[in-house]
Structure 1
Amino acid sequence: MVNRYLPFFQGVVLNQATPTHHPIPGNGNVAVNFDDEPPLLEELDIDTGLIWRKAVSILHPLRSVDPSLHAEADLSGPALILLSLAFFQLLAGKLHFGIVLGWATAASVFLYFISSMLLSPGRGGRGDLSLYRCASLLGYSIMSMTIFSAVSLFLPRGGGLIFAVGMGFVLWSTRVCSRLLVACSGHGDGHRGIVAYPCFLVFMLFSLLVIF
């Protein structure tokens, strides 16, 4: 029997008894089935497997990085690497999230400007180094700076050891970034020298951020 004194509770019970699949307006009686929806990362076009392979290819300091893995640019991996760098700086007592992201953005614009002049199509390259691709290559190259930020937590401050270790990681990042920029632009290794210098300046700034 319908209780006329409890209309609110009666409506709650009736609503709980209705099915969870609702028809789409304008499509007749077609119900929405959320089980057939693709994963969120797939909808956002984020390939976690490719990001992992890109990161692993940089972890070996003595092995040449494979440029074919970085033919498709993305910013998901670089964003995670930069946040990891800032997180290790936070463990050292330094709040550098905004500085790290700001410096990475400025460095990407700087390398894009330099690459557009030194690795232009008129010099024998393909000229496909866009700002988006430069940001992607720079972000993955900062992987070694992230490792240095983690290692610096266990090194004494103000000594010569941390400067020597930092210089090693700077050379590692410079080697990887210059290799990727030259390879992705279609030039040979003869252009790596002129590209390595601006890369060295960028990673030197990041190393000073970690040291001081």
Structure 2
Amino acid sequence: MSFDIGSAQPSPAFSAAPVFNGGTISSGTFEDEPPLLEELGINTRQIWKKTVSILNPIRVNPSLHEDADLSGPFIFLMAFGLFQLLAGKFHFGIILGWVTVAALFVYVVFNMLAGRSGNLDLYRCLSLVGYCMLPMVIFSAISLFVPHGGVVIFAMGAVFVLWSTRMCTQLLVELATGGEEHRGLIAYACWLVYMLFSLLVIF
């Protein structure tokens, strides 16, 4: 019985081992992998574009909001809760609960007004209501430096509520069918939602 080492054939299982060169894997496919945030469904570039579109109350770009997502609204809601926490109010659970109920309320109102022609789904409604919370986040941040109980805070609250209401109404009417002729009632529903959040900031 002899052992000839030179005649031994390499095993095919170990013949394609990856080669490490300078910290990179030459035979791997990690370079072709998408970024981790994209795998999780978080598109930071899209969130930034939507945020910039909400910051312009004069011209709204509904095409940016055709692809609904909840990453941006979640960031805004956490920022809103953080500013409320800096004001001495722990409202994270209240904010998340209220925005869910608010989106459900706007969804029901819109589809009841639009009838069979309405095509607004709850996911898109929650995305739009959440993105239009950005003026409320700004109002919550500015309210940290404004004395409460005066006329100034109420005037600022009215301005930011109208800003959020206008943006949300415009996006709902542009992206969903059947709401154009009921714009006033949809705006009233949105106004109630953002008025509720403004009262949370003021009081």
TM range (shorter): 0.7 to 0.9
Letter in 2 for 1:80: I
8 Å CA contact retained: 1:119, 1:182: no
TM-score (norm 2): 0.83
8 Å CA contact retained: 2:107, 2:125: yes
**Residue 158 (str. 1) matches residue 138 (str. 2):** no
**Residue 209 (str. 1) matches residue 200 (str. 2):** yes
Letter in 1 for 2:51: A
CA distance in 2, matches of 1:185, 1:139: 16
Q: Give the C-alpha shift of residue 38 in structure 1.
A: 2.2
CA distance in 2, matches of 1:117, 1:169: 27
CA RMSD for the aligned pairs?
1.8
Letter in 1 for 2:98: W
Greater shift in the superposed pair: 201-210 or 182-191 = 182-191
CA distance in 2, matches of 1:176, 1:98: 25
Change (3 A) 1:187 1:113: closer
TM-score (norm 1): 0.79
Q: Which runs of 5+ in 1 are unaligned?
A: 1-19, 22-30
TM alignment of 1:62-77, pairs within 5 A = 63-77=58-72
**Residue 53 (str. 1) matches residue 49 (str. 2):** yes
Letter in 2 for 1:191: H
CA distance in 1, matches of 2:153, 2:135: 15
Q: Give the C-alpha shift of residue 143 in structure 1.
A: 0.5
Letter in 2 for 1:37: E
**Residue 107 (str. 1) matches residue 102 (str. 2):** yes
Aligned residue number for residue 145 of structure 1? 136
Q: Give the C-alpha shift of residue 185 in structure 1.
A: 1.1
Which of 38, 58, 61 is the equivalent residue of 1:42? 38
Give the length in aligned residue pairs: 180
Letter in 2 for 1:193: G
Q: Which runs of 5+ in 2 are unaligned?
A: 1-16, 19-26
CA distance in 1, matches of 2:172, 2:87: 32
Aligned residue number for residue 131 of structure 1? 122
TM alignment of 1:165-204, pairs within 5 A = 165-187=156-178, 189-204=180-195
8 Å CA contact retained: 1:145, 1:170: yes
Identity of aligned residues (%): 59
**Residue 78 (str. 1) matches residue 73 (str. 2):** yes
CA distance in 2, matches of 1:130, 1:151: 33
Aligned residue number for residue 118 of structure 1? 113
CA distance in 2, matches of 1:95, 1:198: 26
- Residue by residue, what CA displacement relative to the aligned partner does 1:61-91 show, whole Å, maximum 9, x if unpaired? 3x12111111111000000011111111111
CA distance in 2, matches of 1:207, 1:85: 11
- Residue by residue, what CA displacement relative to the aligned partner does 1:97-156 show, whole Å, maximum 9, x if unpaired? 1111110011011111111101233xxx4x221000000000011110000000101110
Q: Give the C-alpha shift of residue 32 in structure 1.
A: 6.0
Aligned residue number for residue 85 of structure 2? 90
